[in-house]
């Protein structure tokens, strides 16, 4: 017998799974993705149980949803154990209404009953059982109550074989019944609904006269059928909720009290600004810079030691140069930013797991809707502060094509972690005590550019309505530190891997192009190198916002296409190439980069922030936008916009430099 454990994220699935299975667990990954797959045997029974990824519905918009739905459709599942969060019944029941439409018995575990009790929420289980025609068991996976009953019900197979089919309004029910008669598959009701919704993924299920039937039925509604079904589900859920739940309305929870402040009409945005500002101030400000100097000292010591050792081993001068001026200069420059990034990752992880991040999505949703995006775009934007690649992929959850395309094109504007080294390097050197403010200003700059471009795109290109966004706010809670450290650890590891692979390779190539001329002469003046020749071809492009024709800055910015970290790595290699030692401020004291002023420094940061992302992200854009042509459009749009903004910023700031 096989049981599938299904529920929303954070409903307590894993906690219950561990409790039910004890040590009989097999852990792996779902094929092709890094989402965890856990299987095990329920204690003292012959039931195998599988912990499916957390989902809010069975529509396959996310990878999690596809996995869960395919599993239910393709494997022989004997029982669905649907776990709900009793404190959030409305949201949890949405999934339940879909599960009940499959031809698989459903047993519902109402989890978190301890919290419900604490908050004075009373649930009439019998009423819910009647209305949904299923079996319900209140449990607390954390406090281990009710779990024994649950196992007994499974073991004795004493759950109802649900026969539930009366939640929609009369006309719709009739439509569905007629349609079901045309079908011969399993899960008739579920498929009938999908066909009625016009879900393309289900086209192959059309049979007999079903296609004709669907189009004649939909004609009676004059509305998006998917929306009709969603509305009907919520109508029914609201009805049973009102009947089944008695909550103590006067009882204000801590979350309610905190939300009065964090979601206050006037305070929400200022608090958000202050919080994000503090995050960047801590990571990129004076404290963060201290950590950079600290690591830099050791990196420098290490490369001096390597140089001396190589020399004493009699290594040739070019091989010494490759290791010290190429590899160590490039990779080392990136690794010095590691502590700073760890601070940033830690703070963002804290905001996420404490529940605050969802609040940002909640109140920005209104602003976003005005400019043609929805709160759903915020998920990619938030993920984008780590890396654009998964962020662009997560835009799949956006249903509306226009919104999705806009989100994909705008996501790379969010300062990803690889851009942070560029920001802190320039901000730290040119803006000293104000480096934190300047770094944070770039974050808000990005927000403003995203909102403005969305607004303009919407006016010019895509007209239409924006979709609504259903988001339930989780309770605030003290983050779980073990989880936070694991999260940060994974991101740090990914950063180190990047430095050890792509940056390492790119550094070797930069060193090679810098050390040789096109006639393969070694020991030349860097100005005659292949790298310089290449840079000279394009340096006019950057002239309007650098105020200088610099092949060095040009080739470094171009390497942002490989990886944004590589901009800094390349600058370190070029600057260090002809100097004896490398120390914290050597880049901007070197002949190559001494032309930078605060105005051109800020403009250069802006350009790197908004121009085309790295190849990884460009590839993701191509996949998600669907065609190469759209990808090129996005790349030109991003780079063109970056160039225009950088030039305006430079010309404007430069006036002050001339006057002062
Ligand atoms: P999943 O995302 O569905 O796998 O959820 P988890 O099992 O990871 O649980 C999410 C959080 O809810 C964890 O911090 C659990 O400790 C907590 N949790 C799970 N079940 C209960 C419960 O019955 N009562 C309370 N108070 N907390 C619970
Ligand atoms: Mg889990």
The full DSSP string for 492-526 is HHHHHHHIIIIIHHHHHHHHHHHHB-TT--BS--G
Query: Taking the CB of residue 103, how many other CB atoms lie within 10 A of it?
Result: 12
Considering only CA atoms, give the Rg of the chain: 29
Give the pair of three-digit tokens for residue 398. 């956006």
pLDDT at 184: 84
pLDDT band at 542 (very low <50, low <70, confident <90, very high): very high
Ligand 1 pocket, residue 109 CB under 6 Å: no
Ligand 1 pocket, residue 12 CB under 6 Å: yes
pLDDT at 582: 41
pLDDT band at 177 (very low <50, low <70, confident <90, very high): confident
Give the pair of three-digit tokens for residue 479. 């983050």
Ligand 1 pocket, residue 326 CB under 6 Å: no
What mean pLDDT is predicted for residues 550-575? 90
Ligand 1 pocket, residue 353 CB under 6 Å: no
Would you say how long the chain is, in residues? 660
pLDDT at 10: 86
Atom of ligand 1 nearest to the CA of 51: 4
What separation, in Å, do the N-terminal and C-terminal C-alpha atoms of the chain show?
A: 80
pLDDT at 581: 40
pLDDT at 580: 46
Give the pair of three-digit tokens for residue 265. 């009409």
> Which residue's CA lies nearest to atom 1 of ligand 1?
10
Ligand 1 pocket, residue 14 CB under 6 Å: yes
- Beta strand 79-85 with 106-111: parallel, antiparallel or unpaired? parallel
Ligand 1 pocket, residue 115 CB under 6 Å: yes
Q: Which three-class secondary structure state does DSSP give residue 72?
A: helix
Ligand 1 pocket, residue 86 CB under 6 Å: no
Q: How far is the CA of 43 from the centre of ligand 1 (A)?
A: 20
Q: What angle do CA 22, 26, 32 make, to 5 degrees?
A: 145
pLDDT at 218: 65
Taking domain 2-156, whether its CATH number is 3.40.50.300 is answered by yes
pLDDT band at 13 (very low <50, low <70, confident <90, very high): very high
Counting ligands in written order, the one closest to the CA of 479 is: 1
Atom of ligand 1 nearest to the CA of 141: 23
d(C-alpha 126, C-alpha 133), whole Å: 10
d(C-alpha 650, C-alpha 607), whole Å: 10
Ligand 1 pocket, residue 112 CB under 6 Å: yes
Q: How far is the CA of 112 from the centre of ligand 1 (A)?
A: 8
> Does residue 237 or residue 468 have the better pLDDT?
237
**Is the confidence at residue 185, as pLDDT, over 80?**
yes
**What H or E segment, with its residue span, contains residue 235?**
helix 225-244
Q: How far is the CA of 142 from the centre of ligand 1 (A)?
A: 7
Ligand 1 pocket, residue 38 CB under 6 Å: no
pLDDT band at 637 (very low <50, low <70, confident <90, very high): very high
Mean pLDDT of the chain: 85
Ligand 1 pocket, residue 111 CB under 6 Å: yes
**Is the confidence at residue 416, as pLDDT, over 80?**
yes
% pLDDT > 70, the chain: 94
**Is the confidence at residue 640, as pLDDT, over 90?**
yes
| Residue 111 phi, psi dihedral angles, 5° rounding | -85, 175
**Is the confidence at residue 173, as pLDDT, over 90?**
no
Q: Where are the domains of the chain?
A: 2-156, 170-246, 269-389+397-464+473-659
What mean pLDDT is predicted for residues 393-409? 82
**Is the confidence at residue 462, as pLDDT, over 90?**
no
pLDDT at 246: 76
**What H or E segment, with its residue span, contains residue 6?**
strand 2-7
Residues whose CB is less than 8 angstroms from the CB of residue 85 and which lie 6 or more positions away in sequence, other chains included: 7, 8, 10, 11, 12, 91, 92, 111, 112
The segment with the largest mean pLDDT, out of 48-62, 514-528, 587-601, 626-640, is 626-640
Indicate the fold that domain 170-246 takes in CATH: Helix Hairpins (1.10.287)
d(C-alpha 92, C-alpha 6), whole Å: 11
**Is the confidence at residue 139, as pLDDT, over 90?**
yes
The CA distances from residue 30 to 54, 70, 423, in Å, are 13, 12, 37
The segment with the largest mean pLDDT, out of 4-13, 211-220, 310-319, 569-578, is 4-13
Atom of ligand 1 nearest to the CA of 18: 7
**Is the confidence at residue 483, as pLDDT, over 60?**
yes
pLDDT band at 583 (very low <50, low <70, confident <90, very high): very low
DSSP 395: G
Atom of ligand 1 nearest to the CA of 8: 3
pLDDT at 551: 92
Give the mutation target among 50, 142, 484 for probing the ligand 1 site: most ligand atoms within 8 A of CB.
142
Fold matches, 2-156 and 170-246: no
**What H or E segment, with its residue span, contains residue 427?**
helix 420-431
**For the segment 247-290, what is each residue's pLDDT rounded down to a tens digit?**
665 566 788 888 888 888 889 889 988 998 888 888 877 787 78
> Does residue 215 or residue 222 have the better pLDDT?
215
> Which residue's CA lies nearest to atom 15 of ligand 1?
12
Residues whose CB is less than 8 angstroms from the CB of residue 553 and which lie 6 or more positions away in sequence, other chains included: 539, 542, 546, 571, 593, 596, 604
pLDDT at 463: 60
Counting ligands in written order, the one closest to the CA of 15 is: 1
Q: Which three-class secondary structure state does DSSP give residue 253?
A: coil
Ligand 1 pocket, residue 117 CB under 6 Å: no
Give the mutation target among 11, 12, 68, 144 for probing the ligand 1 site: most ligand atoms within 8 A of CB.
12
Ligand 1 pocket, residue 258 CB under 6 Å: no
% pLDDT > 90, the chain: 26
Ligand 1 pocket, residue 18 CB under 6 Å: no
pLDDT at 410: 93
Q: Which residue shows structure tokens 């957390």?
A: 54
| Exposed / middle / buried, residue 553 (Cβ in 10 Å: 0-12, 13-18, 19+) | buried
Give the pair of three-digit tokens for residue 134. 């299923």
- Beta strand 25-29 with 36-41: parallel, antiparallel or unpaired? antiparallel
């Amino acid at each position: 017998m096989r049981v599938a454990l299904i529920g929303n994220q954070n409903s307590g699935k894993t906690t219950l799974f561990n409790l039910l299975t004890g040590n009989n667990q097999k852990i792996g990954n779902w094929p092709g993705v890094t989402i965890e797959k856990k299987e095990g045997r329920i204690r003292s029974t012959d039931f195998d149980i599988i912990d499916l990824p957390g989902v809010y519905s069975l529509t396959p918009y996310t990878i999690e949803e596809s996995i869960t739905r395919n599993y239910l459709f393709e494997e022989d599942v004997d029982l669905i154990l649907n776990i709900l969060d009793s404190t959030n019944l409305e949201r949890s029941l949405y999934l339940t209404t879909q599960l009940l439409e499959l031809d698989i018995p459903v047993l519902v575990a109402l989890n978190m009953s301890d919290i419900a009790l604490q908050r004075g929420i009373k649930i009439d289980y019998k009423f819910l059982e009647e209305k949904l025609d299923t079996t319900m068991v209140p449990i607390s996976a954390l406090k281990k109550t009710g779990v024994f009953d649950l196992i007994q019900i499974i073991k004795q197979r004493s759950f109802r074989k649900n026969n539930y089919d009366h939640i929609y309004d009369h006309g719709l029910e009739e439509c569905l019944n007629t349609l079901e008669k045309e079908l011969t598959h399993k899960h008739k009701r579920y498929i009938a609904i999908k066909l009625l919704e016009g879900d393309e993924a289900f086209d192959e299920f059309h049979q007999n006269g079903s296609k004709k039937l669907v189009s004649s039925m939909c004609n009676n509604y004059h509305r998006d059928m998917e929306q009709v079904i969603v509305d009907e589900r919520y109508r029914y859920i609201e009805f049973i909720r009102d009947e089944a739940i008695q909550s103590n309305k006067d009882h204000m929870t801590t979350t309610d009290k905190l939300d009065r402040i964090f979601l206050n009409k006037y305070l929400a945005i200022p608090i958000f600004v202050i919080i994000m500002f503090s995050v960047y101030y801590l990571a990129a400000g004076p404290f963060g810079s201290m950590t950079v100097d600290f690591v830099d000292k050791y990196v420098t010591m290490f490369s001096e030691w390597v140089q001396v050792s190589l020399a004493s081993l009699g290594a040739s001068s070019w091989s010494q140069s490759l290791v010290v001026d190429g590899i160590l200069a490039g990779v080392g420059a990136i690794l010095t930013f590691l502590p700073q990034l760890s601070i940033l990752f830690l703070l963002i992880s804290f905001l996420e797991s404490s529940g605050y991040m969802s609040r940002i999505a909640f109140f920005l949703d209104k602003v976003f809707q005005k400019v043609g995006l929805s709160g759903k775009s915020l998920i990619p934007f938030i993920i984008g502060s780590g890396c654009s690649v998964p962020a662009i992929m997560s835009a799949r959850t956006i249903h509306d094509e226009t919104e999705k395309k806009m989100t994909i094109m705008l996501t790379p504007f969010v300062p990803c972690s690889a851009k942070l080294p560029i920001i802190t390097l320039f901000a730290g050197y040119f803006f000293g005590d104000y480096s934190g403010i300047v770094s944070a200003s770039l974050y808000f700059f990005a927000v403003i550019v995203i909102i403005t471009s969305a607004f303009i795109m919407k006016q010019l290109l895509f007209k239409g309505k924006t979709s609504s966004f259903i988001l339930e706010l989780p309770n605030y809670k003290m983050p779980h530190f073990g989880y936070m450290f694991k999260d940060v650890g994974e991101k740090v590891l990914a950063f180190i891997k990047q430095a050890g692979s792509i940056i390492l390779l790119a550094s070797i190539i930069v060193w090679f192009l810098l050390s040789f001329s096109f006639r393969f002469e070694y020991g030349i003046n860097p100005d005659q190198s292949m790298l310089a020749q290449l840079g000279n071809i394009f340096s006019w492009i950057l002239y309007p916002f650098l105020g200088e024709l610099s092949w060095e800055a040009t080739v470094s910015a171009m390497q942002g296409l490989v990886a944004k970290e590589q901009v800094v790595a390349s600058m370190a290699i070029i600057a260090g190439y002809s100097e004896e030692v490398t120390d914290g401020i050597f880049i901007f004291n070197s002949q190559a980069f001494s032309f930078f002023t605060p105005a051109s420094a800020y403009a250069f940061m802006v350009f790197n922030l908004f121009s085309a992302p790295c190849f990884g992200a460009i590839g993701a854009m191509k996949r998600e936008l669907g065609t190469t042509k759209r990808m090129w459009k996005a790349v030109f749009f991003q780079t063109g916009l970056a160039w225009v903004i950088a030039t305006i910023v430079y010309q404007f700031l430069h006036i002050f430099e001339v006057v002062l």
